[in-house]
Structure 1
Amino acid sequence: MRLRDPLLGHDLVAMAAPVTKWSVQAERADELSLLLHRAFKVANDPPAGPVFVALPIDVMEQESENEPVAPGTLHRAGPAAPAGVAEAAALLAGAQSPVIVVGDEVARFGAGAEIVALAEALGAAMWTEGIRMHASVPSSHPNFRLALGFDALSIRKALEGADVLLLVGGPFFEEVWFSPGSPFPTGAAVIQVETSSQRLAYNYGVKVGLIGDPKATLAALLVDVNGKASAGYREAAARRNEALKSLKDGDAAAQRARAQKRWDNTPISMPRLMADIASALPADAIVVDEAITAGPDLARTLSFSKRGDYFGARGGGIGQALPGALGVKVACPDRPVVAISGDGSSMYSIQALWTAAHHDLPIVFVILNNGEYRILKHNMDVYRQRFGAKPDRPYLHMDLGKPRLGFLDLARGLGVSAERITTPGDLTGALSRAIAAKRPHLIEVVIEGKVA
């Protein structure tokens, strides 16, 4: 049948291959037992990622006597090699300005406490990779900074002054724009800890590369650093920690001042929006984030204390927050779940509202409506600046105002109650009521940020 080019008979395996770890099609039902066993193994092998298994109609109708392969416990890598740990610890214990860059594998392997303890022992700032899915470390920690940028130059500026860098568990770095040169400060020694050789020293050379479980490896590094650190080093680390705390306090004060300056703006300002969301969220709430251009204000205002408090979107594609929130709520039925999405992003998966209603999943969907694909306009501005194009040219096909999207009608038509917030001060109460109601609900918030 496939030789006759049937409808929907395209090469799905080839289509999925670029965005998966493994893509395969079952040709016989007898293959499924091994294929599914291998699919789950490959998906969970570090670094974890998706696989795709295509099941043709004829295969689904076949019977097989093969039993499923029983899953076992795979004890993967433990701590990195002792010699490598010792070499890395010696560099860290001699650093005058150490910096740590935290990847998502830290959360996946439950290594948050270990990396925080190491940062405190070193007096090191903790940055995250530009795109993150998890809260690997508490965002309120004095040593925690923010996410790095998306080009080598902005990363290098953020890390300026570091003499030893420790990268842990991530695709360092996922860049959007090209900047020549290294993302690392000149002369900095780079240590990288990864769960597999695939990512180790992949894009850039490193001084020391370690393969191992991040939790066990960081614990071993901490023991070795503490053993090597002199009294003078500990005093210097304490001073660095105090300086980082002062910097953190200053950043928080600046964000509060920024919000206060635009507190009563209409449309609602992004700093005010995030301050109101923060005040309404219960302590056990989970945030599924696709705020994108409102993301910096979210990161500076909302606090996430542990793994599982925050879920972001990876890969650069948009439309992940609404359907992602469905999965988060199914996995965490006893915790409030709030999805925050831009208006443009939400339109890629708005039908997720029907699924929430159909399965009675009490999720609050907060749609930030600025009437445009603002991230595309922002990227267009960057493009024009980088390539010398005229800055005043129009933004073609990036507006969502003719006609205006009717999120209230969309939500109600899909079985979800909805309301629109246009007045500063109304969001906190609306969000608190929606969470307490324990049913799917959409809150559209009209916000600033419209770019002409």
Structure 2
Amino acid sequence: MRGRQVFFETLANHGVDRIFGNPGTTESPLLDSLLDHPQIKYIVHLHEGVATGAANFYAQASGKTAFVNLHVAPGLGNAVGAIYSAWKNNSPMVVTAGQQDTRLRLRDPVLGHDLAAIAAPVTKWSVQVERADELGPILQRAFKIANEAPAGPVFVALPIDVMEQETNVPAGRPGHSFTATRPDPAGIAAMAKLLAAAKAPAIVAGDDIARAGAHQTLVKLTEKVGASVWFEGLRGQNSFPTDHPAARGTLAFDATGIAKQLAGNDLVLMVGGPFFEEVWYAPGSPFAAGTKVLQIEAAPSRLAYNFALDAGVVSDVGAGLEALIGALGSREVAGAKQRSDALRAQKEADDAAQKARVEKAWARTPTSMARAMAEIRAGSPKDVVVVDETITANLDLFKTFTFAGPGDYYSGRGGGIGQGLSGAIGVAVAESKRPVLCISGDGSSMYSIQALWTAAHHDLPIVFVILANREYRVLKHNIDAYRARFDVKSNKPYMHMDLSGPTMGFVDMAKGMGVAGTYVAKSDDIKAAVAAAFKSGKPHLIEIEIEGKR
């Protein structure tokens, strides 16, 4: 049996039915064998970063291990940023790249380099297969490591000659391992005692809750103790219903900001995430003095990583939340009803404030972000899946759309831009029964605009909405923050942050890649344009003129 046969049998054994890739010469053994394996579909992309970005979101949306195939050193280099994002998203992913013939190693061949070294900083494990006998075992180990908590990408280099070598070592296959951990009863008892005594508890919901399908369990716990619920500053999925009275919104990106948001809480329970990912340095703790801090994580490496804990438990997050509910008993937790009533009143006040904000901005020209989100929502199907890279329009998106739980919302982590358009490809491949809406800023979209061609090529009915304010708005906000934080006295203009001269034409770009497009300058036309795009059943791009930084 040749190495390439072992390769495909190993993929089949692990349930791989999609390969996200950008083809090249060293990938010839894989490409030439695809017709022999019709159960595996190749999703072709024009850029390695787009292929990897799509695979990242595919892993999130499908719950499967995504498989990527790239092209030698420059191709892998093109994908490193997207691999980093998958690492931050904790996406189980096996990334491979064709490598030059090992017999050329000492001749410095064209496109040759140490691929494993390139990928190592942004993966859980990085290795090159040196002989066909290693292919099955290495791929088997790669799938295992990619899925161990916290999940993430691994990398395997595949030299072209190794793929053609003969071997008697069979294909790798997954082991039937039951790895969900049960919580330590003593730890759960300690947590329950502290929760029952808290006067103002808060919960920070990480992405692992969504991955575990434990969002409804979190709702039960929240209502039992009368806790408020916050999301991380960046989140890849939705772990708690955003229209629930306890949902308070998104945490800030610095310790001082988080401390202000949690100032009224005497206990904070963090569940299933890397707490916290900050953008700006601020001295001090995100927790007020005396606040009890609890944490539930599936991986020991995450527990108490940044903060000392009053109680921490390693457990499957769903099992941990269930155990905590059980430990609190059947009686009502003291003060829970009053806290829940107060949170409901706060939610109603927040909703009224957002309604007033939208009304105030309704007639502005160009269209305000608040109105743009309201009109996009009005034109979208009720069961729409949102892929989000709105950045500065993010808060308006969360206040306009309702995300009930996992599967309704996907976004990138790590802060790298360009994840939206590529990610929408992966979500559409994974989710064929629900309409997919991708909303992106204009600057962000240009990092993965080639994704439009893939949508057309594979006939993926994604509606891409580009919010065109002709600027890197987030950078303007951030330079304001930089000046304030470092006491830089300046009235200088924002240098190199405007996207004009020339103005980008997204409808024209879409047309050139086989995707129909609609340009919308008037607010009144947004809803109809979005509705028509979904009705077409084809990939469609809508460019909406929105206001810039005011």
**Equivalent runs, 1:53-452 vs 2, <5 Å:** 53-227=156-330, 233-234=333-334, 236-450=335-549
CA contact (8 A) 1:266 1:422 kept: no
Q: CA deviation at 1:382?
A: 1.1
CA-to-aligned-CA distance 1:290-321 (integer Å, 9 cap, x gap): 00011011111111112101001111111011
Provide the secondary structure at the position in 2 that maps to 1:185: coil
Q: Residues 73 and 276 of structure 1: is their aligned pair in 2 closer, same or farther, counting only changes over 3 Å?
A: farther
Q: CA deviation at 1:60?
A: 2.9
CA-to-aligned-CA distance 1:215-247 (integer Å, 9 cap, x gap): 1110110011135x6x5x44x110100110111
Distance across 1 between alignment mates of 2:320 and 2:359: 44
Q: CA deviation at 1:393?
A: 1.9
CA-to-aligned-CA distance 1:119-149 (integer Å, 9 cap, x gap): 1011000001111011111111110111111
Provide the secondary structure at the position in 2 that maps to 1:209: strand
CA contact (8 A) 1:385 1:391 kept: no
Distance across 2 between alignment mates of 1:391 and 1:256: 35
Distance across 1 between alignment mates of 2:117 and 2:474: 30
Structure 2 match to 1:29: 132
**Equivalent runs, 1:9-28 vs 2, <5 Å:** 9-28=112-131
Q: CA deviation at 1:202?
A: 0.5
CA-to-aligned-CA distance 1:243-271 (integer Å, 9 cap, x gap): 10111111111111111111121111000
Provide the secondary structure at the position in 2 that maps to 1:377: helix
CA contact (8 A) 1:371 1:401 kept: yes
Counterpart code for 1:351: Q
Provide the secondary structure at the position in 2 that maps to 1:341: strand
Q: CA deviation at 1:72?
A: 3.2
Counterpart code for 1:315: G
Distance across 2 between alignment mates of 1:368 and 1:266: 14
Counterpart code for 1:421: V
Distance across 1 between alignment mates of 2:375 and 2:170: 54
Distance across 1 between alignment mates of 2:490 and 2:165: 60
Structure 2 match to 1:43: 146
CA contact (8 A) 2:181 2:298 kept: no
CA-to-aligned-CA distance 1:66-91 (integer Å, 9 cap, x gap): 22222233211332100100010000
Q: CA deviation at 1:161?
A: 1.6
Distance across 1 between alignment mates of 2:476 and 2:114: 34
Q: CA deviation at 1:114?
A: 0.9
Distance across 2 between alignment mates of 1:344 and 1:67: 48
CA-to-aligned-CA distance 1:319-353 (integer Å, 9 cap, x gap): 01111111111111111000001101100000000
Counterpart code for 1:321: G
CA contact (8 A) 1:381 1:391 kept: no
Q: CA deviation at 1:380?
A: 1.5
Q: CA deviation at 1:61?
A: 3.2
**TM superposition score normalised by structure 1:** 0.96
Distance across 2 between alignment mates of 1:203 and 1:352: 37
Q: CA deviation at 1:175?
A: 0.9
Which runs of no fewer than 5 residues in structure 1 stay unpaired?
none
Does 335-344 or 1-10 show the bigger shift? Answer: 1-10
Aligned length: 447
CA-to-aligned-CA distance 1:154-197 (integer Å, 9 cap, x gap): 11111112111100000001111111111112110111000011
CA contact (8 A) 1:192 1:209 kept: yes
Does 4-13 or 270-279 show the bigger shift? Answer: 4-13
Provide the secondary structure at the position in 2 that maps to 1:198: helix
Q: Residues 213 and 433 of structure 1: is their aligned pair in 2 closer, same or farther, counting only changes over 3 Å?
A: same
CA contact (8 A) 1:142 1:245 kept: yes
CA contact (8 A) 2:120 2:126 kept: yes
Counterpart code for 2:214: A
Q: CA deviation at 1:18?
A: 2.0
**TM superposition score normalised by structure 2:** 0.79
Provide the secondary structure at the position in 1 that maps to 2:437: strand
CA-to-aligned-CA distance 1:33-64 (integer Å, 9 cap, x gap): 11111111111111111112122233233343
Q: CA deviation at 1:397?
A: 2.0
Provide the secondary structure at the position in 1 that maps to 2:523: coil
Q: CA deviation at 1:11?
A: 2.7
Give me the CA root mean square deviation: 1.3
Distance across 2 between alignment mates of 1:104 and 1:295: 17
Q: Residues 5 and 385 of structure 1: is their aligned pair in 2 closer, same or farther, counting only changes over 3 Å?
A: farther
CA contact (8 A) 2:226 2:340 kept: yes
Q: Residues 27 and 310 of structure 1: is their aligned pair in 2 closer, same or farther, counting only changes over 3 Å?
A: same
CA contact (8 A) 1:371 1:450 kept: no
Distance across 2 between alignment mates of 1:263 and 1:193: 43
Provide the secondary structure at the position in 2 that maps to 1:444: strand
